[in-house]
Amino acid sequence: MEAKNLTVCRNARLAEHLYLMEFEGAFTPPALPGQFIHIKIDGLFLRRPFSVAGQKNNRLAILYKVVGKGTEILARKKGGETLNAIGPLGKSFPVIKKWKNVYLAGGGTGIAPLIFLADKLSGEDVKITFFYGAKSRGCIGFEILPAGINFVFTTEDGSYGDKGLLDRAVCGFIGKNGRPDVIYGGGPAGLLKKIGRISEDFSVPAFVSLENRMACGTGICYGCVTKIKTGSGWEYMRICKEGPVFNTKDIKWD
């Protein structure tokens, strides 16, 4: 983990409220899929966490949705400006060589760490099916989607892909094509909980990247805790430190 000034080299609007920011200046050690960076934004006391959506050579990318003050400021950044970021933070998605048939299921900006994972897994003799759920066609960041991967789209209004929610598409796909070796997920808690249910129903391991409001990002403040099952019940664990990636069978959903 290190703190670094990253130079913005591209800040592009990809879809409704959805931006891709690319930086010159990657981290040492390099970020792994599932890890995040904690960005200092001018005028805001707390840094803002974003999953790494890609890191190659000396370039690092995040995919972000404009939802409030911080992301509005990010959206106005121009090439050449710098942002201070701490990273790479948190635990990455576990990858096991024998998992050859992999499902990625992401909703909204939850696709960010999965794009990075897809990039790392492609070329590794792994069959990837990427389920991408969005509100409507206008919210899909087509430009960032890696080539050579089978995508299954769902939109809530049916304007692109299947109409409906992502978990139903995943279940339907399993029904037709059989179980994958593993499911990786990102996105709203409701979707991640459903991925947990699919994992149980079909006896497939599943790992999801949880999000929560976060303060320090480095495990000191315990502001981002979530309930994780233990042998004797459950205990609070830090999304920034023990997570953000957790095995769905360990998450105690409220």
Choose, by CB under 6 A, the member of 101, 136, 159, 212 that binds ligand FAD: 212
Residue 189 Cβ vs ligand FAD, minimum distance, rounded to whole Å: 8
How many angstroms separate the CA atoms of 94 and 75, rounded?
A: 32
Whichever of 65 and 77 has its CB closer to ligand FAD, that residue is 65
Q: How far is the CB of 125 from ligand FAD (least distance, A)?
A: 28
| Binding flag, residue 218, ligand FAD (CB under 6 A) | no
Per-residue burial over 86-119, b = 16 or more CB atoms within 10 Å of its CB, e = otherwise: bbbbbbbbebeeeeeebbbbbbbbbbbbbbbbbb
Minimum Å gap between C-beta 157 and ligand FAD is 21
- Per CB under 6 A, the segment of 2-10, 63-71, 91-99, 120-128 that binds ligand FAD is 63-71
23 belongs to the binding site for ligand FAD (CB under 6 A): no
Please tell me the distance from the alpha carbon of residue 74 to that of residue 41, in angstroms, as a whole number.
8
Shortest distance (Å) from residue 67 CB to ligand FAD: 4
Residue from 10, 29, 30, 67 that binds ligand FAD (CB under 6 A)? Answer: 67
Using rule CB under 6 A, residue 33 touches ligand FAD: no
Beta bridge partners of 154: 133, 162
Q: Which of 188, 181, 51, 58 is nearest to 121 (CA)?
A: 181
What is d(CA 116, CA 93) in angstroms, rounded to the nearest whole number?
Answer: 11
Close Cβ partners of 1 (under 8 Å, ≥ 6 residues apart): 86, 87, 88, 89, 218
DSSP state of 216: S
Tokens of 21: 């920011």
Region near ligand FAD per CB under 6 A, out of 62-70, 99-107, 144-152, 153-161: 62-70
Residue of minimal Cβ distance to ligand FAD: 68
Given the rule CB under 6 A, which residues bind ligand FAD?
A: 36, 48-51, 62-65, 67-71, 109, 112, 211-214, 239, 244
